[in-house]
Amino acid sequence: DKVAIVTGAGSQIGFGKGIAMTLAREGCDIIIGDIDLKGAEQTAAEVKALGRKAIALKADVTSSAEVSEMVKAALAQFGRIDILVNNAGVGTPPKPFVESTEAEWALGININLTGVMTCTRAVLPHMISRKSGKIVNMASIAGLGGTPTGTIYGAAKAGVVNFTAGLALEVAELGINVNCIAPGLGATSFHPASGFPPEYIENVKKMASEGKTTTPEDIGNAVAFLVSDVSIRIVGQCLRGIRYSITRTVLLH
């Protein structure tokens, strides 16, 4: 049995819950860290229904103090952390960069990039001491190339890709695998809570009905592969697109 932290798995519309449920089915006990404690508790209850142990913890990934408490609680409950999935993130509604604000930049960078660093820094010393661990960071296809009207989000996710590659080289010889996933268009993006404009949501709904979007289960399966024993030689890699690598640019122009 392995113990996994999955951040951002409290949302009932994102990839995080799919990751948590897939890992639970693969035999992992799960720590759900999310700013939305009620949502985290709901996911934890569903994990427990699969026969696995789970705890829900309030954790704002931009807060070093809250992340530190999450890690302490995980170690107190389970005694170890085998897997960290840095999934917590926030989308930025598409708009020209010139119309964006400093607050929008700070939000996108702090959650999508700095949050990955904060959680990794909190867990990594434990993994180094055990000479074992798997870290999977959630990037985006938007971080692999320029995305008009998505500059802030793309910049943050590009940082995740590069952070993954650099850290992987640092810790590979210590028995720790670090990789990332860059999903394409997600089926979750058509939810009204996503903040995207109605025309975008309608386009995504149409593509989802045709089976042309990436599902939480797709991402969960990709994560399960990267944290499995068969991926021990895979380090510093970015799985691109998963099912479909179409970007929102295609939908809006």
Residues forming the active site: 153
Q: Do residues 187 and 140 lie in contact, with contact meaning Cβ atoms separated by under 8 Å?
A: no
Q: Do residues 19 and 219 lie in contact, with contact meaning Cβ atoms separated by under 8 Å?
A: yes
Q: Do residues 89 and 8 lie in contact, with contact meaning Cβ atoms separated by under 8 Å?
A: yes
What distance in Å separates the CA atoms of residue 191 and residue 205, rounded to the nearest whole number? 9
What distance in Å separates the CA atoms of residue 159 and residue 157, rounded to the nearest whole number? 5
Q: Do residues 185 and 214 lie in contact, with contact meaning Cβ atoms separated by under 8 Å?
A: yes
Instruction: Give the residues across from 4 on adjacent strands.
Output: 30, 83
What distance in Å separates the CA atoms of residue 15 and residue 173, rounded to the nearest whole number? 30
Q: How crowded is residue 150: how many other Cβ atoms within 10 Å of its Cβ?
A: 24
What distance in Å separates the CA atoms of residue 164 and residue 180, rounded to the nearest whole number? 7
What distance in Å separates the CA atoms of residue 64 and residue 26, rounded to the nearest whole number? 30
